[in-house]
Structure 1
Amino acid sequence: MEELKAEKHVQYILSIEKKKDNFESVVMEHLRMNGAYWGLTTLDILEKLETVDPDEIVSWVMKCQHESGGFGGNIGHDPHILYTLSAVQILALFDRINVLDIKSDISGLQNEDGFFSGDMWGEVDTRFSYIAICCLSLLHRWDKINVEKAVNYIVICKNLDGGFGCTPGGESHIFCCVGALSIMGSLRHIDKDLLWWWLCERQVKSGGLNGRPENLPGVCYSWWVLSSLIMIDRVHWIDKEKLVQFILDCQDKENGGISDRLNDAVDVFHTYFGVTGKLQLDFHLLDYPGLKSIDPAYALPVDVV
């Protein structure tokens, strides 16, 4: 089996910052905070975080913060919980969470029924519950929310197939509800064997994983599905060798980066989740000594958490 082209992927990530004026960067400007988290975490996992200037990055992150306490996806963009978590994760990578003024935090986005909104406009999604719980856990602000209500809302989103919807009755998706319950110490609410079956059925003949029935496989699901299986201690029911090969086949072996599937264009999102998925698989396949391990719930290196 071929190897992960780690050095190529490092060079690809470092090259992205030099292309801020190209078309792809301009149309993705609003997601720059997320992109920074994906790229920087990949560098940390590959033990190359020292190749960037932490002061410059932290300074930019803090310029994206609003008076509400939330962060936008870039300077001058509206705050949203999605970008706020990425900002906190970036600061955690550099051990700079102390620069935050957390008097105004995302606990104010929790509704009386326990769910969280994504921003001031009130959209509801269990992704936002995960993000809020993950963020508040990293900030040590559990005292600011009603944890019991947060758990109960996720539980009422559970479906007959063992998965969880974005809202009650919604189509089953993966990771966010499992991750949130894991962080809150509430995995007992999951029917692990039923969810295990649903997750394992996400593997297709190519070895890749998809996010829902009849979907094409994608490298990012190597993280979403795999991490969910790890959190419920059921990772042994998929073909790990075939999944590794699927990820490796999606590498750009000349220029670095990983795509969602074979022969597609690479991007930093799939590069991050491809690298993290591959390293988690290595650990469960080979028990590599000295491997920088990833926390399956926080999507950060264990030493950072």
Structure 2
Amino acid sequence: MLAELKAVNNFLKTLNKLDENEFYYWNTIHLKTTAFYWASLTSHLLNCFEVSSIDPILNHLETCRQPEGGYGGQKGHDANLQFTLSAIQLYILFNRLEEIDVVKNSAFILKLQNSDGSFSSDIWGEKDVKFTYMGLLSLKLLQKLNTCDIASAQSFLLSCLNKDGGFGLLPRTESHAGFTFCAVAGLVLCGHVFTEKENSLIVDWLKNRIFGIGVNGRPGKFYDSCYAWWVLASLKLLNVPVINYDFVIPFILSCQNKKSGGFSPRPREPADLFHTTFSVAALSLLKHGGLEPIDPLTCLPGSIMNI
């Protein structure tokens, strides 16, 4: 592995030692379940995952498990679709999926599907393409996808496709690369066969996010390292050879903080776990630095998903 990627592991270890006297501890405590997924995925891709970290994370998940199904981001927090998906992904990463209550968790997820096919985040009803992808993927990983209304979910996702080729958070909202990934991946999960017109429109919009030295999420916006993942993963799901975009690698590497080892949105900015994970994931898609391959549909290591 390249030396700069080895430094990422040092960044992950630093985050693991944060205490209550540090700002970043409090800034991330509400999403600790997903933070554990990001860190565990990254270390897997770096081929430096430590088995000793499994039990503490599983102990955390146990405190976040809700009696009616679903997981929260922290002890005492309500169950939420994002954190439930992160918990499922962690159990799969650790090869411990048999420890999750499939019946209760799939029932929790199914209750969050709305009449228009979308999924809500939680019982309070916020819905969009992100949560629809999360709901579909969660059920897929639990082998319960056929228990939801796939046809209406597909219809909802297609209703978020704009004339410019990108997908919005909801119908008739601005196109965004992150939402486009969620919609494309969700449609793949639904078994949607993209028409030639749909494919051409979406691919052209995605390709236009790659410009100059970097990748952005919307027209006219600054480039950002995490969009390398959302854009390239979407292209790969649409059967576009992403290896042709290896010229993006120097941009991603320029976003690595030389002091901490983590990745930031742009060069010379503070690193964070989110951008570190998805920068490494993008480098994995581009087959850079001896990283383990990643499955763009599930955001899990290819060796685990047998791809």
Question: TM-score, normalized by length of structure 2?
Answer: 0.91
SS of residue matched to 1:28: helix
1:46 equivalent in structure 2: 46
Question: How far off is 1:239 after superposition?
Answer: 4.3
Question: How far off is 1:23 after superposition?
Answer: 1.1
Structure-2 separation of matches of 1:130 and 1:4: 35
1:248 equivalent in structure 2: 253
1:226 lines up with 2:225 in the alignment = no
* Contact kept in structure 1, 2:215 and 2:223, CA below 8 Å: yes
What number of residue pairs does the alignment pair up? 297
Equivalent of 1:107, from 105, 110, 115?
110
Structure-2 separation of matches of 1:204 and 1:170: 23
* Contact kept in structure 2, 1:116 and 1:128, CA below 8 Å: yes
What residue identity is the alignment partner of 2:285? Q
Question: How far off is 1:101 after superposition?
Answer: 1.3
2:6 equivalent in structure 1: 7
Structure-1 separation of matches of 2:279 and 2:161: 28
Equivalent of 1:259, from 264, 267, 270?
264
1:28 equivalent in structure 2: 28
2:201 equivalent in structure 1: 194
1:277 equivalent in structure 2: 282
- CA deviations on 1:248-296 (whole Å, 9 max, x unpaired) are 111123431111110000011111111111121126xxxx8x7521011
* Contact kept in structure 2, 1:3 and 1:248, CA below 8 Å: no
SS of residue matched to 2:172: coil
RMSD of equivalent CA atoms: 2.0
- Write out the 4+ residue segments of structure 1 that deviate beyond 3 Å after TM superposition: 235-239
Runs of at least 5 residues in structure 2 that lack an aligned partner in the other structure: none
2:65 equivalent in structure 1: 65
What residue identity is the alignment partner of 1:124? K
Question: TM-score, normalized by length of structure 1?
Answer: 0.92
1:180 lines up with 2:186 in the alignment = yes
1:204 equivalent in structure 2: 211
**What pairs up with 1:79-228 in 2 under 5 angstroms?**
79-104=79-104, 105=106, 106-173=109-176, 174-188=180-194, 191-206=198-213, 208-228=214-234
* Contact kept in structure 2, 1:64 and 1:76, CA below 8 Å: yes
Distance 1:214 1:254, change over 3 A: same
- CA deviations on 1:220-258 (whole Å, 9 max, x unpaired) are 1010001001111224597431x1000111112343111
Q: Using the aligned pairs only, state the percent identity.
A: 35
Runs of at least 5 residues in structure 1 that lack an aligned partner in the other structure: none
Distance 1:304 1:20, change over 3 A: farther
Distance 1:102 1:239, change over 3 A: closer
